[in-house]
Amino acid sequence: MTGSNTNKKKSFLSGIPSWASALFIFLIELILIMALPDTLGESATGEALIWTTVGVVNAICCFFIVKQNPKSIWYVLLIINALFIIMAVVMAVVGEDINLRDLLFLCGIVVLSIIASIIGARIGRKSVVSENNKIK
């Protein structure tokens, strides 16, 4: 019966394009990176907590955005991680004030978001295939 699919409740992400969600998360992360040092201080523990928080938020958001639209994996990763990629490249190129710990955190955030996006894309593809089989 095709009428049963029309009553199915859709996610709030379904109406928002993936690029817009990724840009919104990018801005949220930028605010977090700027606001959290004032709250947590400039200590090594505070910095580690900031990077960890931003990395977890980044990975979770990548997972859900890519799960909703598996074809958007590449540009979602680029938009959300643009700040971290630029920071890592600048730190590597300039090299005069390089902090290996921060560079590892930046690369770790990008790698974690790639893994989360791949998992989200696989789960998203499976749900799309199963929904297409139900419609037929």
For residue 8, being part of any structural domain is answered with: no
| Cα gap 52→48, rounded to integer Å | 6
For residue 26, being part of any structural domain is answered with: yes
DSSP secondary structure of 22-82: HHHHHHHHHHHHHHHHHHH-SSHHHHHHHHHHHHHHHHHHHHHHHHH-GGGHHHHHHHHTH
The answer to whether the beta carbons of residues 93 and 87 sit under 8 Å apart is: no
For residue 4, being part of any structural domain is answered with: no
Domain extent at residue 29: 17-135
Q: Residues 11-64: pLDDT tens digits? A: 665 678 888 988 998 998 888 788 777 666 677 787 788 888 889 989 999 999
Q: Residues 80-102: pLDDT tens digits? A: 999 888 887 887 787 666 677 87
The answer to whether the beta carbons of residues 94 and 41 sit under 8 Å apart is: no
For residue 126, being part of any structural domain is answered with: yes
Of 34 and 1, the structure prediction assigns the larger pLDDT to 34
For residue 7, being part of any structural domain is answered with: no
For residue 5, being part of any structural domain is answered with: no
The structure's pTM equals: 0.75
Angstrom distances, CA of residue 110 to CA of 38, 53, 56: 24, 13, 11
Total of domains in the chain: 1
Of 87 and 8, the structure prediction assigns the larger pLDDT to 87
pLDDT at 11 (0 to 100): 62
Residue 135, pLDDT > 70, answer: no
For residue 12, being part of any structural domain is answered with: no
Map tokens 């893994």 to a residue: 115
| Cα gap 58→32, rounded to integer Å | 11
For residue 1, being part of any structural domain is answered with: no
Residue 3, pLDDT > 50, answer: no
Token pair of 14 as six digits? 């379904």
pLDDT at 8 (0 to 100): 56
